[in-house]
Structure 1
Amino acid sequence: MTHPDQAYEELASAHAFPINEAIKIGGQYVPVLRDGPLLYVSGQIPRIGDQVHFVGMVGSGPDAVIDLASARRAAAISTLRALTLVKAALGSLAAIRSVPRISVFVRSAPDFTQQSEVADGASEALYTVLGPRGVHTRTSVGVLQLPKGAAVEIDFVFGVE
């Protein structure tokens, strides 16, 4: 199996995600919090640098501007952001032992019911980078609005060394 750090770099390259750029956080919270063997990562949206990508509702109809494939990519980019934060906190993604839980929020048009398919973008990214250690439980929920108008927001719980 490919080392997680190498798999992360390859996936980031495939999504044109800059891995050497510090992730900026606004507000009075921490992006990563360790509590014993668990590492919690605050909700991540598909932001690259200062720009939020994939802004708008997911689905079809007059209010929706993001299709399913784009929403899945948004989920993958949000996951890359989380992995960037974890790597900065731990030094290497090899320190991840498990992913007990992810929660995926999808800014959904009223008739959109494929939130779980959007979440697959995050699940596939985790498995690509971590292999079997990236298998997780998850919840996917449709919501009316997300920060900065993002199509997707995901929070994570990692089991770590």
Structure 2
Amino acid sequence: MARIEAKLAKMGLPLPRALQMPVNIQMSLPFAWVRVRGTRAFVSGHVPLNPDGTIAKPVGKVGAEVSPDEGYAAAKLVALAQLASLRTALGDLDRITAWLRIFAMVNVAPGFDQMPRIANGFSDLILELYGPDIGTHARSAVGVALPLNVPVECEAEVEVDGQTS
């Protein structure tokens, strides 16, 4: 088993299946979850997922229906969803040589201004898995309205080695 996947297994963190859109939602998603170009992989916005690929609960605005701790946990689930997509695209999570940038979008209630605290759920997991040399990244965290009323969505850019999967 690859090094990063072994760490995930030891932590008891399964990678989820791809997003399973709710049956009552008719939405086209005409984009790639991961686009690899040269030594860069651009990761589309991912949302918190259960292991079966369904949207994780709770949903709603952080600071209202979703507590900051629940928002932090949701951001961690987003990181797992991205890792699952990266594994599919790259074949091996150990091919990631640097996490370059994370853009975190948090669905916030009026007056909630702790978006970085929520985004730390994503960053903390990546740093724990990859260590500071590979896992340290630039990051922005903003408050916005999000599709499907999810509490957090993140996109990313990573550097990968040049071998083909």
TM-score (norm 2): 0.84
**2-side partners of 1:94 and 1:117: how far apart?**
27
Unaligned runs of 5+ residues in structure 1 are none
Amino acid at match of 1:24: L
CA contact (8 A) 1:5 1:129 kept: no
The within-5 A match list for 1:60-71 is 64-71=64-71
Unaligned runs of 5+ residues in structure 2 are 21-27
How many angstroms does 1:85 deviate by? 0.8
Aligned residue in 1 for 2:107: 107
Aligned residue in 2 for 1:45: 47
Aligned residue in 1 for 2:23: none
**Secondary structure in structure 1 of the residue aligned to 2:103:** strand
TM-score (norm 1): 0.86
Aligned residue in 2 for 1:22: 17
Aligned residue in 1 for 2:24: none
**2-side partners of 1:128 and 1:10: how far apart?**
12
**Secondary structure in structure 2 of the residue aligned to 1:126:** helix
Amino acid at match of 1:136: H
1:33 aligned residue (18, 32, 35): 35
Give the length in aligned residue pairs.
150
Amino acid at match of 2:135: G
The within-5 A match list for 1:75-114 is 75-114=75-114
Q: Which has the higher strand share?
A: 1
Aligned residue in 1 for 2:119: 119
Instruction: Report runs of 4+ in structure 1 exceeding 3 Å deviation.
Output: none
